[in-house]
């Protein structure tokens, strides 16, 4: 199974792109667990709540992996290829949890750091902040400066690791086209 993670600051189209890619490749996507958690528990979170959210994200990812494996619904093969490579698109991973912990609280749970080194993904799609910010009850950073800071934190992380990645910019259709081209050329 190929696992592709979509990351970036809030309101950069991550969830939309994750769903669009899953639809295009006729497979499953793994949503961001933090949204579910914050909607159920309120948006005032603690440092310890971020550990709970991280563990919830990993549990959700495992469930989604099982769905892909059990159903083999992914029909997203490339023209001319006989075999189908199962793909899971993941909205958020432990890098996001690390950045969130450190940006808000100035420290990160060792569990999250351990999971970053233990988990392997096949590619990252880094969503740029060039989409207009959309107000949402759970979003924290409407100003451009924190969004820029966060974007460059994510970019620095990706530059300093070995998994293939690409910056995703433009309108929603341009983002989808860029992601599909990268995935078809680099991953599948």
The band of 82, judged by pLDDT with boundaries at 50, 70 and 90, is very low
pLDDT given at position 143? 78
Question: Phi and psi dihedrals of 112, rounded to 5?
Answer: -65, -45
**Statement: residue 76 has pLDDT above 60:** no
Q: What is the mean pLDDT of residues 138-157?
A: 87
pLDDT given at position 80? 46
Superfamily (CATH H level) for 2-186: P-loop containing nucleotide triphosphate hydrolases (3.40.50.300)
pLDDT given at position 75? 52
The band of 144, judged by pLDDT with boundaries at 50, 70 and 90, is confident
Residue-wise DSSP of 117-174: HH---SEEEEE-S-SPP---TT----SHHHHHHHHHHHHHHHHTSSS-EEEE-SSHHH
* Averaged confidence pLDDT in the chain: 91
Percent of all residues in the chain with a pLDDT value above 90, rounded to a whole number: 78
**Statement: residue 176 has pLDDT above 60:** yes
pLDDT given at position 47? 98
Terminal-to-terminal C-alpha distance of the chain: 10
In the block, residue with structure tokens 């059990």: 70
The SS3 assignment for 83 reads: coil
6 DSSP 8-state letter:
E
The band of 188, judged by pLDDT with boundaries at 50, 70 and 90, is confident
Q: What is the mean pLDDT of residues 122-146?
A: 83
What is the tens place of the pLDDT at every residue in 17-72?
999 999 999 999 999 999 999 999 988 999 999 999 999 999 999 999 999 988 76
Q: What is the mean pLDDT of residues 151-167?
A: 97
Map out the domains of the chain as residue ranges: 2-186
* Among 92, 168, 116, 123, CA closest to 2: 123
What is the tens place of the pLDDT at every residue in 121-133?
999 999 999 988 7
């Amino acid at each position: 199974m190929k696992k592709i993670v979509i990351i970036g600051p809030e309101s950069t189209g991550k969830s939309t792109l994750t769903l669009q890619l899953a639809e295009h490749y006729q497979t499953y996507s793994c949503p961001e667990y933090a949204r579910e958690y914050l909607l159920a528990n309120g948006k005032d979170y603690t440092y310890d709540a971020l550990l709970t959210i991280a563990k919830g994200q990993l549990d959700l990812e495992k469930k989604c992996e099982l769905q892909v494996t059990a159903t083999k619904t992914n029909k997203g093969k490339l023209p001319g290829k006989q075999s189908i490579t199962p793909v899971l698109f993941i909205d958020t991973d432990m890098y996001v949890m690390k950045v969130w912990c450190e940006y808000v609280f100035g420290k990160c749970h060792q569990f999250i750091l351990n999971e970053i080194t233990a988990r392997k993904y096949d590619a990252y799609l880094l969503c740029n902040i060039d989409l207009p910010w959309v107000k949402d009850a759970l979003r924290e950073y409407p100003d451009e400066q924190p969004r820029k800071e966060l974007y460059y934190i994510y970019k620095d992380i990706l530059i300093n690791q070995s998994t293939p990645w690409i910056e995703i910019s433009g309108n929603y259709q341009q983002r989808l086209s860029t992601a599909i081209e990268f995935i078809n050329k680099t991953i599948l």
